[in-house]
Structure 1
Amino acid sequence: MSRKKTDMTSRFILGIAAAALGLFGATASFAQSAFSPAIQVNDRVISYYEIEQRALLLAIMNTPGDARKLSREQLIEDRLKLEAAEIAGISPNEGGIQSAIGQMAKRVNMKPEDFIKALAAEGVDEETIRSFTISGIAWQGVIQNRYGSQVQITEEEIDRAIAANSGTGGIRVLLSEIVIPTTPQTREQVDSLATQLSEIRSFADFEAAARTYSGSKTKVDGGKINWMSITNLPANLRPLITSLGPGEVSDPVQLPNAVALFQMRGIEETSAPSPKYSAIDYAMLYLPGGRTAETLAQATEMRDRIDRCDDLYGIAKDMPQGSLIREAQAPGEIARDVALELAKLDDNEVSTALTTQNRQMLIFLMMCGRTAELGEELSREDVAAALRQQRLASFANSYLAQLRAEAIIVQK
């Protein structure tokens, strides 16, 4: 094994150890009843052991929020997905499972067998990893089987999407947004509300809904966002946005701790081509306190006294290690909620709209710069596939909310 890979593997294992410390202590408190039922979802049982295993895996993956609470929510959804798959006669094959595990290992530059061994050394069973992938694969089959024939992409939609993503024709959009905050406990109700709001076709009604329900700072303006180049938006949202006509509202867009809706107020071609970006340089400074008045005031004071991202290093030097994160990532690698906020910012502008998933930290998000590139021409097949996946994702979210509403869920 090369020195570089050994170092990378060592860092990964150290990360596992650090993530595990807070979880193993809690496990011991009910070690004698680890396999007793903690949650019942219809006729399916989730044990305390499964909850702890999934929580540990989520912590190792640096998933934001309370790992144990998120573990419970994910496992409940997994049971609903697997039940739907069983009814539909869908069962993942071994090849698909191994491929999914391989993709997880690839993200940390490890071979699948080394990845599994590293996790096992810190207490994560291979069966936990398999379960994590099986429900996702089965659910994809359910949605494809149930809704695949209903998703028809028109040639006009493909044309608009290609124009929006290419550098040969400049397109900018004028949008309004509603961003509704969620918690695991309110996700079902918010999804239902967002589905209702997606039926709005009036500018006045959307503006009123934004003022009532949105948690974004744009709510004071009825959700209105200034003109922006379509290429500022995350690539996987561009087909969704460009398929809208004036007054139309998008399907709900799932974010880590919110659900977003967009209304098209205007779309136009420009003489200048829309740039494509190879990398987005941005910084995130985590401020304790969430959206309290004191923390927001601190963020405002910071914004008023800095001019560029480099100034954040001076502020962060007296803060706990890890408070400042600066990344230069390809647009497709950026978390969707962060990417949406960055789309609204010019260089050296700041957003304080986001918090961590547990809402304990305010994210001071600053745009440092965009690196433009000349992209390859998009194929019609790729664009159609992206549009199709976006539609299927909307169907999937609605169906899961329905299954959860109809299920009998008992948590102990």
Structure 2
Amino acid sequence: MKAARTLGAALLGVSLAAMGAVMATAQEGSPFAPRMVINGQTVTNFEMEQRMLFLRALRAPGDPEKEALKALMRDRLGAQAAKDLGISVTAEQVKEGMEEFAARANLNAEQFTQALAQEGIAPETFRDFVSNGLLWREVVRSKFGQQIRISEAQIDRALAENAKTPQVQVLLSELIIPVQGDAVSPVLDQARAIKAETGSEASFASAARQYSAAPSAGRGGRLDWIPITNLPPAIVQKVLTLSPGEVSDPIVVPQAVVLFQLNGISDLESTMPAQVEVEYAQFALPPNLDPATIRQQADDCGDLYPLARGLPAEQLRVTKQMMGAVPQDIGLELAKLDPGESVLRNRGGYNELLMLCLRTGIPEADPAAAEIPVTTEESEAAEDKPAVDREALRNQLGNQQLTALAEAFMEELRSEAIIEER
């Protein structure tokens, strides 16, 4: 009898332990279970999922899970720094920030929020994104704004350096995996697995031949040398962090996930334009037109107009944009083309001929450089300087210094933080 009671107690203990394990597992899968804890501040699974959806809606490059985790960590650290400094933002400031951000998509905040809702993104996700960005900006201004002083001599040196800046070219291999509908997650998992298994140029080339849907697949994904100014700026940021032979994290672009391998990097003697403007044509081919015939007959964008005669106007679109505004999937294709060259793209229900009409380098200062004012050091000699936009360059240099100080401070916060990933 005693043995039976002992056995019963043991079984009860095992049952309770098993039940506890099941409950713990269920809690881990809960939307509001911790995904990461930073100095005691929790980031939930729900926040992670929402930020990933938000980044995808913005067509942000990189691995959405890694980028979301990094961004939420920075948000928490920045918010804690703001609290320590007694910095806050008002509801009116957040509202204005939301309107400003939405205006980049030619929408107001309400329209932008509604568009995000169609992607499954809650209104508070957008609000928190803007609020945390404003908080961090105020932290940076408070700590470092008065330290930024750009002299006339610094401007002179920058002008001299800009005049002899070499044009950087990269030698890349690409692997492009199509995404069917909204099924991004399984393609991301596949891309991560491919990256983990490709440790050399030969293995990446083999994977590209097997998995890539790009025309370069037959060459093992190998591309010709490409000036970095021809690439979308967000892609450049990812590529230039790679070492030769290294493979990038998966980059999500419209209807595809992309891996790049950096095979080489080179400087040329010619100067590199600050910005690049492209003009390109998108010709939605009707079923009765043979793509090969069209490509043979069209040597430049002007040749497409007679071929489109009698078709609805929307089937042939010619667009002129700064490279930074071009959709990333289109920008990646244009980067590989010279003016007059084209590529055929399968758009699901139809074929599209994408042709580069013109690419123009524009040597001008970054317009975003004027966003944060900096303290200036005037000199009498400034009146005798050439008629260049020295104030824009001053602000650009100030922002570069401010960004460097901000990143160093964020790294300091991260190194001192207690961070636990679940």
Change (3 A) 1:344 1:168: same
Equivalent of 2:355 in 349, 352, 366: 366
Aligned partner of residue 210 in structure 1, secondary structure: helix
Residue 326 in structure 1 maps to residue 315 in structure 2: no
Question: Structure 1 vs Structure 2: percent identity of aligned residues?
Answer: 28
Residue 342 in structure 1 maps to residue 341 in structure 2: no
Aligned partner of residue 224 in structure 1, secondary structure: coil
Deviation at 1:239, TM superposition (A): 2.4
Deviates more, 1:332-341 or 1:275-284: 275-284
Deviation at 1:363, TM superposition (A): 2.2
Residue 308 in structure 1 maps to residue 297 in structure 2: no
- TM-score normalized by structure 1? 0.56
Q: What is the aligned partner in structure 2 of residue 264 from structure 1?
A: 262
Change (3 A) 1:130 1:102: farther
Change (3 A) 1:351 1:134: farther
Change (3 A) 1:374 1:139: closer
Q: Which digits, 9 at most, give the CA deviation of each residue in 1:158-216, with x for residues without a partner?
A: xxxxxxx9971122111100011012453111111212233332011100110111111
Q: What is the aligned partner in structure 1 of residue 125 from structure 2?
A: 135
Equivalent of 1:249 in 247, 250, 264: 247
Aligned partner of residue 270 in structure 2, secondary structure: coil
Q: What is the aligned partner in structure 2 of residue 104 from structure 1?
A: 102
Rounded to whole Å, the distance in 1 between the matches of 2:193 and 2:131 is: 27
Change (3 A) 1:106 1:197: closer
Give the alignment's Cα RMSD to 1 decimal.
4.6
Equivalent of 1:214 in 208, 212, 215: 212
In the TM superposition, 1:3-402 aligns within 5 A as 94=91, 95-105=93-103, 107-108=105-106, 112=108, 133-138=123-128, 168-184=165-181, 186-199=183-196, 200-287=198-285, 298-353=290-345, 355=347, 359-376=348-365, 379=397, 382=400
Deviation at 1:279, TM superposition (A): 1.6
Q: Which digits, 9 at most, give the CA deviation of each residue in 1:237-256, with x for residues without a partner?
A: 21221221111011111101
- Paired AA for residue 165 in structure 2: T
Q: What is the aligned partner in structure 2 of residue 162 from structure 1?
A: none
Aligned partner of residue 291 in structure 2, secondary structure: helix
Q: Which digits, 9 at most, give the CA deviation of each residue in 1:312-338, with x for residues without a partner?
A: 111222222311111110111110110
Deviation at 1:236, TM superposition (A): 1.9
Aligned partner of residue 322 in structure 1, secondary structure: helix
Q: What is the aligned partner in structure 2 of residue 6 from structure 1?
A: none
Q: Contact conserved, 1:194 with 1:261, CA < 8 A, in 2?
A: yes
- Paired AA for residue 362 in structure 1: N
- Paired AA for residue 190 in structure 1: V
Q: Which digits, 9 at most, give the CA deviation of each residue in 1:211-244, with x for residues without a partner?
A: 1111111001110001111211112221221221
Change (3 A) 1:106 1:345: closer
- Paired AA for residue 298 in structure 2: I
Q: What is the aligned partner in structure 1 of residue 18 from structure 2?
A: none
Rounded to whole Å, the distance in 2 between the matches of 1:384 and 1:238 is: 21
Deviation at 1:99, TM superposition (A): 2.3
* Pair member with larger Rg: 2
Change (3 A) 1:262 1:140: farther
- TM-score normalized by structure 2? 0.55
Q: Contact conserved, 1:166 with 1:375, CA < 8 A, in 2?
A: no
Q: Contact conserved, 1:285 with 1:323, CA < 8 A, in 2?
A: yes
Give the aligned length: 279
Deviation at 1:134, TM superposition (A): 3.2
Unaligned runs of 5+ in 2: 1-28, 33-56, 58-64, 80-88, 134-161, 366-392, 408-421
- Paired AA for residue 279 in structure 2: D
Rounded to whole Å, the distance in 2 between the matches of 1:174 and 1:325 is: 31
Q: Contact conserved, 1:283 with 1:324, CA < 8 A, in 2?
A: yes
Change (3 A) 1:303 1:100: same
Change (3 A) 1:196 1:272: same
Change (3 A) 1:367 1:267: same
Deviation at 1:104, TM superposition (A): 2.4
- Paired AA for residue 353 in structure 2: F
